[in-house]
Amino acid sequence: MPAKGWIEVNDMFCKGCELCVSACPPVVLELDNEKLTPKGYHPAHIFKDGCTGCAICALVCPDAAITVYREVTKAPASAAAGVH
């Protein structure tokens, strides 16, 4: 059963470049056309179920705008930055 994940996109940094949208393996990301960041971009967001917390979006994000969570069933993940 795939892990359950969630991401939060920081409006201060997201520029709506869509690299994460394109890279996301389960294709759960898109730009939120209902929302504008302070700089006037449409930020990325999860628009449907299926995020596995793989963190590939964070890996490709040039602005380090994404925080990734993955529901852990065994030992807790360490809180250090870096893709596991």
Partner 1 sequence: MAATIVSLENLVYSRPQGFTDTPSHYCPGCTHGTAHRLVAEVLEEMNILNKAIGVAPVGCAVFAYNYIDIDFVEAAHGRAPAMATGIKRVLPDRVVFTYQGDGDLASIGMAETVHAAARGENITIIFINNAIYGMTGGQMAPTTLPGMKTTSSPNGRDVETQGYPIRVSEMLATLDGAGYIVRRSLHDPKNIRLAKKAIRTAFETQVHGLGFSMVELLSTCSTGWGVTPVQSLAWLEEHMIPAFPLGDYKIAPSVAALKN
**Interacting residues with partner 1 (CB under 8 A):** 4-6, 8, 10, 12-13, 15-19, 21-23, 39, 41, 49, 53, 55-56, 58-72, 76-77, 79-84
Please state the closest distance from residue 1 (CB atom) to partner 1, in A: 15
Q: What is the C-alpha end-to-end distance of the chain, expressed in Å?
A: 19
Provide the residue type at 2 as one letter: P
- Please, which residue, 34 or 40, has the CB nearer to partner 1? 40
Half-sphere exposure of 56 (CA within 13 A, CB side): 15
If the CB atoms of residues 32 and 55 are measured against partner 1, the closer one turns out to be 55
Residues ≥6 apart with Cβ < 8 Å to 78: none
